[in-house]
Amino acid sequence: MGKVLERIDEPLCAWLAAQHMFFVATAPSGDAGHVNCSPKGKDSFRVLGPDAVAYLDLLGSGIETVAHVQQNGRIVLMFCAFDGPPRIVRLHGRGEVLRPGTPDFVAVAAAFDCVLPVVRAIVRVQVARVSDSCGFGVPLYRFVGEREELTNWAAKKDAAAVATYLRDKNVRSIDGLPGLDGA
């Protein structure tokens, strides 16, 4: 059944890259606040090394993951095989939010084929625990394609409109934690 792996090796790296979707979970410190779980698309994830990964944090109507990571760094990424042999992999670690224009953002963005105009940050994770479990209960799904609504929406906006959206939707989390400044 489940096992803990020493690191992200080449076969696991290839398996992670083949998954069409993954999930990110975070929570604020303490007993109060909301636990957050967000779905992410395949092309937004990269393995940076045997104990480091990153994903593009895309524009959205909430800022929970960024706010939680900025507050306490705790994060887990979960990948499920929706086709092929059943498998679940979790990457537990400490995240950091890299903002556009910073040297770290620029360096990590080079790992991606492209950085979409809807990227509001990159979340880099220092992986502390890699676990693998059966996934026998995960249903089979057929991948149809990537959604284009977000990039189409952004293509109709200028930089000022996107900045306004960030200020309106991404400055504070639902628990009142700091998000992004929208600048």
pLDDT tens per residue across span 5-40: 999 999 999 999 999 999 999 999 999 999 999 999
**Could you tell me the residue ranges of all domains in the chain?**
3-169
Q: Please give the model's pTM, rounded to 2 decimal places.
A: 0.95
- Contacts within 8 Å (CB) and 24+ apart, 141-148: 141/82, 141/83, 142/83, 143/20, 143/82, 143/83, 146/41, 146/42, 146/43, 147/41
- What is 3-169's CATH topology? Pnp Oxidase; Chain A (2.30.110)
**How large a percentage of the chain has pLDDT more than 70?**
98
- pLDDT in the model for residue 183: 45
- Which pLDDT band, with edges at 50, 70 and 90, does 115 fall under? low
Q: Does position 182 have pLDDT exceeding 60, yes or no?
A: no
Question: Which of 127, 112, 96 is closest to 43 using CA atoms?
Answer: 112
Tokens 């992999």 appear where?
89
Task: Give per-residue pLDDT as tens, 137-157.
Answer: 999 999 999 898 988 998 899
Strands 88-98 and 119-133: antiparallel
C-alpha 68/C-alpha 28 separation (Å) is: 5
Q: What is the mean pLDDT of the chain?
A: 93
- Report CA 142 to chain centroid distance, whole Å: 22
Calculate mean pLDDT across residues 71-76.
98
From the list 106, 114, 117, 116, the residue with the least C-alpha distance to 158 is 117
User: What are the pLDDT digits (tens) for 126-141?
Assistant: 999 999 999 999 999 9
Number of Cβ within 10 Å of residue 19's Cβ equals 18
Upper half-sphere CA count for residue 108 (Cβ side, 13 Å): 28
- What whole-number percentage of the chain has pLDDT above 90? 84
pLDDT, residue 10, reads 97
